[in-house]
């Protein structure tokens, strides 16, 4: 059964001009892109998106980083999309990420780690709704 997940190409991905490469990895791994846009996150939107982390010491810096430049949210679909995308991006800290993963290849640090991926099908639904109206998905 097909499942959806949300990716966000983070500001460091666009600063490094590797968004084209990362999108190619997503397509090569068999994900279908159902929605994608280039946008600037507001502080309120970033705070809401990362609300689960609001008690963590890095929350303020995370919001500052995610609003430091444009991002590209992507709604993707395939079988087992959530788990497969987490595998494709690798560990949160690129130093611990497996060879061949997107974070291992392109990320600099545990914070500036290039890409977001939903961590459960339920969170994926809410995260997709944060950025997309169902009617705008192809």
Residues involved in catalysis? 116
CA-based nearest residue to 31, from 53, 2, 65? 2
Task: Kindly tell me which of 52 and 64 has the beta carbon lying closer to Mg ion.
Answer: 52
Nearest approach, Cβ of residue 28 and ligand IDP (Å): 21
Nearest approach, Cβ of residue 53 and ligand IDP (Å): 6
Pick the binder of ligand IDP from 116, 124, 127, 128 (CB under 6 A): 116
Q: Does residue 92 touch ligand IDP according to CB under 6 A?
A: yes
Task: Kindly tell me which of 95 and 136 has the beta carbon lying closer to ligand IDP.
Answer: 95
Quick one: what does residue 58 bind among ligand IDP, Mg ion, none, with the CB cut-off 5 to 8 Å set by partner type? ligand IDP
Please name the residues in contact with 37: beta carbons below 8 A apart, sequence gap of 6 or more. Answer: 72, 73, 131, 132
Q: Does residue 62 touch ligand IDP according to CB under 6 A?
A: yes
Q: Does residue 58 touch ligand IDP according to CB under 6 A?
A: yes
Task: Kindly tell me which of 62 and 128 has the beta carbon lying closer to ligand IDP.
Answer: 62
Q: Which residues bind Mg ion (CB under 5 A)?
A: 119
Q: Using an 8 Å Cβ cutoff, are 99 and 33 in contact?
A: no
């Amino acid at each position: 059964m097909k499942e959806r997940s949300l990716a966000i190409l983070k500001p460091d991905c666009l600063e490094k001009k590797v968004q084209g490469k990362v999108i190619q990895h997503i397509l090569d791994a068999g994900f279908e892109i159902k929605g994608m846009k280039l946008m600037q996150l507001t502080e309120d939107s970033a705070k809401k998106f990362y609300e689960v982390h609001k008690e963590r010491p890095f929350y303020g810096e995370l919001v500052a980083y995610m609003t430091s430049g444009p991002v590209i949210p992507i709604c993707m679909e395939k079988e087992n999309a959530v788990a497969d995308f987490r595998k494709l991006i690798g560990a949160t800290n690129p130093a611990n990420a497996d060879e061949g993963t997107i974070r291992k290849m392109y990320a600099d640090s545990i914070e500036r780690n290039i890409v977001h991926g939903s961590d459960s099908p339920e969170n994926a639904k809410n995260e997709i709704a944060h950025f997309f109206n169902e009617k705008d998905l192809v």
